Amino acid sequence: MKRFAPLAVPLLLAGCDGPASTLAPAGPVAAEIAWLWWAMLAGAAAISLLVGVMIAMSFGPPRETSTRRWTHGWGLGFSLVVLTTLLGAGLWVGERILPRDDGAVEVRAHAFMWGWHFTQPGEGDNMVETDGTLYVPVGQPIDVIVTAEDVIHSFWVPQLAGKMDAIPGRENVMRFQVDSPGTYRGLCAEFCGLGHAGMLFDLVAYEPGDLPEALLPNEPAEEGAND
């Protein structure tokens, strides 16, 4: 069985890529979060390694050693330094990705059982409402105001930012930014009933000068033309 273990590595790593992966960041906020993820993995690995070494040593022959060195030095000292560094990194990243008053583009995401209603700026000062697809310009900070109709949902675009709860009667604001145009996978990250698994949406990022058709003022459509 053991010799098949290395084969599992590429398979497991394959799960770290793709449209729903936080480890494939597509914007600065997500990049900070991904960096923090790796830092936490490294910290956890360092402490696990220490524990592993100590377990291995316990199987060896008894040796002259200072208990203090192990309990104070490694047990407390080393672990506290690692955990404090990670806590500091977490606070640093958390502070840097907060929304702030700097004229970011504002969009709204309203969650309901089971779908998403979005409001975003179109041409000029025109606000455009859409269902199931959120349109944002690339290269600019975006503040998404997250609300809910019925129960608690959660707004999540893994490649762009963290999760933000959508709570009825409350407005939660989250910041993100997209580096390059394209379509990104969005989903509800809070179990909200039978239709939860299908509560997906698209986030379409466009060049500011190249407004998608859905954001342009509606031409009077011919009756039944789109059915």
Nearer to Cu ion by C-beta: 39 or 167? 167
- Say if strands 142-148 and 105-112 run parallel, antiparallel, or are unpaired: parallel
- Please identify which residue in the block is written with the tokens 């040796």: 63
Beta carbon nearer to Cu ion, 8 or 194: 194
Query: At CA 198, angle to CA 197 and CA 200, rounded to 5?
Result: 105
Angle between helix 79-96 and 28-59 (nearest 10): 170
Q: Which is nearer to Cu ion, 108 or 163 (CB)?
A: 163
Through-space distance between the first and last CA atoms of the chain, rounded to whole angstroms: 56
Minimum CB distance to Cu ion, residue 196 (Å): 4
d(CA 89, CA 111): 32
**Which burial class, exposed, middle or buried, applies to 159 when counting CB atoms under 10 A from its CB (0-12, 13-18, 19+)?**
buried
CB of 30 to Cu ion, least distance (A): 21
CB of 185 to Cu ion, least distance (A): 15
Q: Which residues bind Cu ion (CB under 5 A)?
A: 153, 188, 192, 196, 199
CB-nearer residue toward Cu ion: 160 or 199: 199
Q: How far is the CB of 134 from Cu ion (least distance, A)?
A: 16
Contact 145, 172 (CB under 8 A): yes
Amino acid letter, 169: G
Q: How far is the CB of 135 from Cu ion (least distance, A)?
A: 22
Query: Which residue number, 117 or 196, has a Cβ lying nearer to Cu ion?
Result: 196
